[in-house]
Amino acid sequence: MTPDPDKLAQRARALYLDASRQLDPATSGRLRAARRQALEAAQPASARVASRLLLPAGAFAVLALATLMIWQPLRHADHAPAHAVPAASTADTDTDLPPDADSADPQLYQNLDFYDWLAANDRVKVRR
């Protein structure tokens, strides 16, 4: 007759618990310290160093990515000034009225003679 595996496991567990209760605190502490040392020795040193460096390196990478994402649209905004956009939109409309002074680019009014000449020559067809 073979013993029942469940009864064998229960009996082993009961013997283990009984033996652990009978250990004095000094022996128990030495056993825990030996277990910790054995677990640390089983783990490679490179894995411990990598796990310590992984968090700061990941945080730095996220910070660098966020910085690049924020600064990228600002570089494109520098090329086209905000005050030039309304003047371009009013130039697309087919009206004979000049744009409002508030919404137009101030540089537009510096060379009014040139724009007058350009408008006059635009109507004349050049023969080649």
pTM of the model: 0.28
- Sign (positive/negative) of CA torsion 69, 71, 74, 78? negative
The answer, yes or no, to whether residue 102 has pLDDT greater than 50, is: yes
Following DSSP, what letter does each residue of 38-85 receive, concatenated? HHHHHS-HHHHHHHHHHHHHHHHHHHHHHHHHHHHHHHHHHHS-TTHH
Instruction: Mention every residue, 6+ apart, whose C-beta is less than 8 A from residue 23.
Output: 31
Average pLDDT over the chain reads 76
The string of pLDDT tens digits covering residues 30-72 is 988 998 999 888 877 777 677 777 888 888 999 999 988 887 7
User: Which tops the pLDDT comparison, 80 or 120?
Assistant: 120
Q: What's the pLDDT score for residue 53?
A: 76
The tokens for 10 are: 């229960």
Q: What's the pLDDT score for residue 90?
A: 47
pLDDT band at 124 (very low <50, low <70, confident <90, very high): low
Say which amino acid occupies 98.
Answer: P
* Cα–Cα separations (whole angstroms), residue 33 to 38, 39, 57, 70: 9, 10, 32, 50
